[in-house]
Amino acid sequence: MKTPLLIFALFGILGLTPISAQNVTTVNATSNEISDNLDLRAVASIFGEAQNLEDFERRINDPRNKISNLDLNFDRQVDYLRVIEAVENNTHLIILQAVLERDVYQDVATIEVERDRNNQVQVQVVGDVFMYGPNYIYEPVFVRRPVIYNMFWLNNYNPYFSPYYFNYYPTYYYAWTPYPIYRYRRNVHVHINQHNYYNYCTDRRSSRAVAMYETRRNNGYERQHPNQAFTTRNTATNRYELEQTRNSGRRVADAGIRSNTSIGSESVRSATATTNVRNHNYPKVLE
């Protein structure tokens, strides 16, 4: 009879310890947050590996890579992202647009490339303000000079404009069902070249690119859902601040789990010692 009583006593004491699930805080990404569904660092990484903008568009939409997870028209299929370009002097403005309906597009990001008088090239990947909040910008520093640069400043260069539109897509493309966010993050991470640097900043470098974009922006999703801007969806200023808040929450949660685990282990040791005393389970002394 001593053994069952010992087990019941141990479980009774454990039930009083603060190790229950209710005391553990779990912080998860909001599954319906739009900006969770396209990692701009992956976009920058693929841009640095592309041969030209046609190749870039192909890589972004390749069903085997699944770089995007955006479904802005809610048809349970990831939207095709078309690429269009405008050029003025040494400035290239590259726009990524989600294809939603016939003649309805939503810009999700721009890539702004500019060469200065010293032939130095600066690149910024800028998230659309409605999608990512204001001034969400990454400046990639590529480990190798992108081949695509060699094309941009040829004398006979023609700006790229995707020939694809709603229900007319390239033969390699087929739509797929969006991933759960945790799975999308795990998938897209492997497509980010870890040898590059992706520096976050809040200032647009090219005033010319900014001026060029003012007359070219498409915002079909924004017009359909005017109350769903990033700053309405979140208390954070932009996507970067949202990520910092989430990471802070995860650190707090992890600290709480470690603390509860430590308390729980100490309680088990205490409970075992108390039970041994009550049952006189002293160690035997060799004579």
Domain assignment present for residue 284? The answer is no
| pLDDT value for 270 | 47
Buried b vs exposed e over 50-89: b needs ≥16 C-beta within 10 Å? beebeebbbbbbeeebbbbbbbbbeeeebbbbbbbbbbee
Domain assignment present for residue 178? The answer is yes
62 and 188 Cβ atoms separated by less than 8 Å: no
Domain assignment present for residue 287? The answer is no
| pLDDT value for 177 | 97
| pLDDT value for 248 | 80
**Same structural domain for residues 193 and 270?**
no
Q: Kindly report, residue by residue over 233-264, the tens digit of the pLDDT.
A: 999 999 999 999 998 867 665 566 555 555 55
**Same structural domain for residues 191 and 256?**
no
**Same structural domain for residues 80 and 190?**
yes
Host domain of residue 103: 35-230
233 and 168 Cβ atoms separated by less than 8 Å: no
Domain assignment present for residue 285? The answer is no
**Same structural domain for residues 19 and 59?**
no
**Same structural domain for residues 98 and 185?**
yes
**Same structural domain for residues 99 and 154?**
yes
What is the pTM (predicted TM-score) of this model?
Answer: 0.78
Report, as an integer, the average pLDDT of 76-90: 97
**Same structural domain for residues 194 and 272?**
no
Q: Is residue 145 predicted with pLDDT exceeding 50?
A: yes
| pLDDT value for 48 | 97
| pLDDT value for 212 | 97
**Same structural domain for residues 96 and 203?**
yes
Higher confidence at residue 262 or residue 111? 111
Q: CA 241, 85, 188 angle in degrees (round to 5)?
A: 45
Count CA atoms within 13 Å of residue 21 on its CB side.
0
3-state helix, strand and coil shares in percent for the chain, rounded to the nearest 5: 40, 20, 40
CB proximity list for 26: less than 8 A, separation 6 or greater: 253
Domain assignment present for residue 159? The answer is yes
68 and 81 Cβ atoms separated by less than 8 Å: yes
Question: What is the enclosing helix (H) or strand (E) of 202?
Answer: none
Classify burial at 256, counting beta carbons within 10 Å of its beta carbon; exposed 0-12, middle 13-18, buried 19 or more: middle
Domain assignment present for residue 60? The answer is yes
**Same structural domain for residues 124 and 67?**
yes
**Same structural domain for residues 130 and 189?**
yes
Report, as an integer, the average pLDDT of 201-226: 96
pLDDT, mean over the chain: 84
Q: Is residue 127 predicted with pLDDT exceeding 70?
A: yes
Higher confidence at residue 264 or residue 6? 264
**Same structural domain for residues 61 and 160?**
yes
Domain assignment present for residue 243? The answer is no
**Same structural domain for residues 114 and 65?**
yes
Q: Kindly report, residue by residue over 268-284, the tens digit of the pLDDT.
A: 444 444 444 344 343 33
Query: Considering its fold, how many domains does the chain have in total?
Result: 2
Domain assignment present for residue 201? The answer is yes
Higher confidence at residue 249 or residue 113? 113
Please provide residue 8's backbone torsions phi and psi, each rounded to the nearest 5 degrees.
-60, -40
